[in-house]
Amino acid sequence: MNKTKEYNCKKCGVVIQEFTFEKNDGICMPCNNGTRKEIEERKNATVKCEISSIDTDPITIEIIAREFQPIINKAGNVGGKHHANYHEMEAQKALVKHCVVYGVDIELYDDHWGRTGYALIEEFEKGNAWIRNGEHKIYFKELIKEEWKEGNHFLAMQGGILYKDSSGNIIFKKLTWLS
């Protein structure tokens, strides 16, 4: 097998073929054409999604699209291929793929069963996503997570998770179970 020797671009370090190296005096095509900065910026395209909260305003969780793509692709749906949520989740996956391929920021809407929101909350808790509050980013490590429950009879209770800031203000409160 005849393998072409590879070289690194003198400007950005990316691996390039010998032909490109010789043709452009050691510079890759994006650096040579002046498009490298644009390509790098597109890699940071984000997905954001507003998630409803009990007793507080909704929160917007944001994540780098290329990091979220494998997560949303693994996210299950409610029901089978004929269930409405299957089609919602397929649309979400296609939108995230579009974001990655074209390097554009997008805003998703949480699907009716909250699968997208739960996937983003899980990534937020892992430190891979953040809550967007205007220009400020809030990371999970800055908040306190608590479980909450309400009700006084085992057949009439509800509960979930909440996040508080260091002053004790509730930032997000999510219902996750009913008895």
Q: Are residues 62 and 137 in the same domain?
A: yes
Lowest mean pLDDT among 16-25, 38-47, 83-92, 155-164: 38-47
Residue 147 lies in a domain: no
Distances (CA, A) of 89 to 2, 34, 51: 44, 37, 16
Q: Are residues 63 and 24 in the same domain?
A: no
145-179: per-residue pLDDT in tens? 999 999 988 889 999 999 999 999 999 999 999 98
Q: What is the DSSP string of 67-123?
A: HHHHHHHH---SS-TTSHHHHHHHHHHHHHHHHHHHT--EEEE--TT-HHHHHHHHH
Contact predicate 22/82, CB 8 Å: no
* Residue 137, both tokens: 């980013």
Q: Are residues 92 and 53 in the same domain?
A: yes
Residue in the structure block whose two tokens are 């990655």 = 100
* pLDDT over threshold 90, residue 131: yes
pLDDT band at 135 (very low <50, low <70, confident <90, very high): confident
* pLDDT over threshold 70, residue 3: no
Q: Are residues 129 and 51 in the same domain?
A: yes
Residue in the structure block whose two tokens are 């808790």 = 125
List b or e across 131-156, with b for residues whose CB sees 16 or more CB atoms inside 10 angstroms: bbeeeeebebeebeeeebeeeeeeee
Report the pLDDT value the prediction gives residue 4, as an integer from 0 to 100.
Answer: 65
d(CA 6, CA 132): 42
Residue 76 lies in a domain: yes
Q: Are residues 10 and 72 in the same domain?
A: no
Percent of the chain with pLDDT over 90: 71
- Furthest CA-CA distance within the chain: 77
The total of structural domains in the chain comes to: 2
Report the pLDDT value the prediction gives residue 1, as an integer from 0 to 100.
Answer: 55
* Beta-carbon count within 10 A of 72 CB: 23
Q: Is the dihedral of CA 62, 63, 69, 70 positive or negative?
A: negative
pLDDT band at 38 (very low <50, low <70, confident <90, very high): confident
Q: Are residues 14 and 60 in the same domain?
A: no
* Beta-carbon count within 10 A of 96 CB: 24
Q: Are residues 68 and 133 in the same domain?
A: yes
Contact predicate 157/149, CB 8 Å: yes
73-120: per-residue pLDDT in tens? 999 888 889 999 999 999 999 999 999 999 999 999 999 899 999 999
Q: Is the pTM of this model over 0.85?
A: no
